[in-house]
Amino acid sequence: MPIWDFPGARNWGYDGVLPYAPDAAYGTPEELKGLIDRAHELGLMMFLDVVYNHFGPDGNYIGAYAPPAFREDLHTPWGGAIDFRLPEVRSFFTENVLYWLIEYRFDGLRFDAVHAICEQDWIDEMAAAVRSSHELRDRRIHLVLENENNQQSHLAGDVDAQWNDDFHHVFHVLLTGEREGYYDDFATDTAGKLARCLKDGFVYQGELMAHIGHPRGTPSGHLPPKAFVSFLQNHDQVGNRAFGDRLTTLAPPGGVEAATAAFLLCPQIPMIFMGEEVASETPFLFFTDFQDELADAVREGRRKEFSKFAAFAGEEIPDPNAKSTFEASIPQPHPTLAGERAALFKRLLAIRAAEISSREATADAEAEAIGPKAVRATWRFEDGARLTLAVNLADSPLDVAPIEGPLLYESAPGVADAARAGRLEGFAVVALMEKA
């Protein structure tokens, strides 16, 4: 998550005000460089979340000494929009991108909410600058967007991948049955929407989304799976719930395990939320360390935001500024499921490393709903291999067309044999890999 310097001792990072300064509460610049060097020694890449769509509300003095940097005619949910029409502003943030990649040697950046950047061409201009940088020419740099609008245009150029919120939403509805807010747009033909997600990436590719009242997205079926970052949980989807509920507390363990196998074995890029690998039930709450009037405004604004939801009526939302809110968000392993869930993740990641991520998947995929909560999908790889994945997120068995092929993974002994006989057990996952 972002590390721009911000007031106070704790923060999600999205209230940063000094883009070139790692936050002092975390340590010194030299210690950050040491952390990255040590990760590289261990064979790990390091990515940084960066925010170029707004500044935090406390300590942002750029508006005082450089007021033209902000637009007066356009606002974001977090304040005045940064004016990316100005070449000085564009250069300031492009140089910031290069700063983190060159000075600190981060391996990639995740760009927060780029849909809120008023001049979208800056994204492509910045990405081109990264690719043409002399200092970066011998390194593999990853550029990943968060783009709520499901636009795929940037992925045709120098941007590598984009977060796929649709992936989260459709799995969440299948596992929990929730349909308030944007989940309602995924509550009809949910298995069909999951099939489209596995096949094409985005579920919404220009169709009307009732929650926002207008069409959302652009066609994405021509893109390879590696253009999409998939997840079952993340800081937004957990932390922006009133009480920071993790999926572990909202869905049955068997369903979560089946969904975990599905998302770790499909060729899209999987992202794991901290604590997910040990079935943590610890909430991840929204926390800050603001003072005085701003602290009051954030606390009351948070509580007002959720007052319209029937599920939270009469319950007081935790104070974001209380230290106890931060402390309650530290992940703890599940008291009984942690070891079993960690073993599942290790097994799935080992299979993925050996058989899936080591191959280049093409955009030539097929997928179909085979039950109310069941899907079968097939992907092809450039070396001629073919991966088939069948998943049933219902707790009851399902009659299906026989699923055959060399076994890569089965969620329990006998599940593959049953699938070959035309029966997909409840909470079952079968993965088959045919090699050329």
CATH number, domain containing residue 309: 3.20.20.80
* DSSP strand pairing (374-381 vs 386-392): antiparallel
Q: Is 179 helix (H, G, I), strand (E, B) or coil?
A: coil
Read off the pLDDT band of 173 (50, 70, 90).
Answer: very high
What confidence tens digit (pLDDT) does each residue in 111-126 have?
999 999 999 999 999 9
Residue 27 is part of which domain span? 4-364
Residue 134 domain-assigned?
yes
pLDDT digits (tens, 9 = 90+) for 294-304: 888 888 877 77
In this prediction, residue 298 carries a pLDDT of 81
Confidence of residue 317 (pLDDT cuts 50, 70, 90): confident
- C-alpha pair distances (Å), 41 with each of 36, 37, 100: 9, 6, 19
Q: Is the pLDDT of residue 355 over 60?
A: yes
Q: Mean pLDDT lowest for which of 30-44, 63-77, 153-167, 304-318?
A: 304-318
DSSP three-state, residue 433: strand
Establish if 382 belongs to a structural domain: no
Paired tokens of 275: 């604590």
Binned at pLDDT 50, 70 and 90, residue 59 comes out as: confident
C-beta neighbour count of 19 within 10 angstroms: 20
Residue type, 418: A
Helices (H) and strands (E) in the chain, counts: 12, 19
Name the residues annotated as catalytic: 112, 146
Which carries the bigger pLDDT value, residue 220 or residue 309?
220
pLDDT digits (tens, 9 = 90+) for 404-433: 999 999 999 999 999 999 999 999 999 999
Distance CA 138, CA 30 (A): 23
The pLDDT assigned to 300 comes to 82
pLDDT value for 104: 98
The pLDDT score that the predictor gives to residue 308 is 66
Q: What's residue 310's pLDDT?
A: 61
pLDDT score of 56: 87
Please give the Cα distance from 379 to 12 (Å, whole number). 37
How far apart CA 7 and CA 59 sit, in angstroms, is 7
Model pLDDT for residues 328-340, shown as the tens digit of each residue:
999 999 999 999 9
Q: Is residue 73 part of a domain?
A: yes
How far apart CA 65 and CA 382 sit, in angstroms, is 54
Kindly state whether residue 389 falls inside one of the protein's structural domains: no
Mean pLDDT of the chain: 94
Count the domains in the chain: 1
Band (311; pLDDT cuts 50, 70, 90): low
Q: Could you identify the residue written with the tokens 């033209």?
A: 68
Q: In this structure, is the dihedral angle defined by the CA atoms of residues 21, 24, 29 and 33, taken in order, positive or negative?
A: negative
List, in sequence order, every residue forming a beta bridge with 230; answer none if it has no partner.
270
Query: How does strand 214-216 pair with strand 207-209?
Result: antiparallel
Q: Does residue 387 fall inside a structural domain?
A: no
Neighbours of 323 (CB within 10 A): 12
pTM listed for this prediction: 0.94
Residue 179 lies in a domain: yes
The DSSP result for 187-230, as a single string, is SSSHHHHHHHHHHHS-S-SSEEETTTTEEE----TTS-GGGEEE
| Token pair in block for residue 300 | 């009351």
Question: Is there a domain that residue 293 lies in?
Answer: yes
Q: How far is CA 71 from the centre of its chain?
A: 29
Query: 281 falls in which pLDDT band (50, 70, 90)?
Result: very high
Q: Say if 36 falls within a structural domain.
A: yes
- 146, pLDDT greater than 60: yes
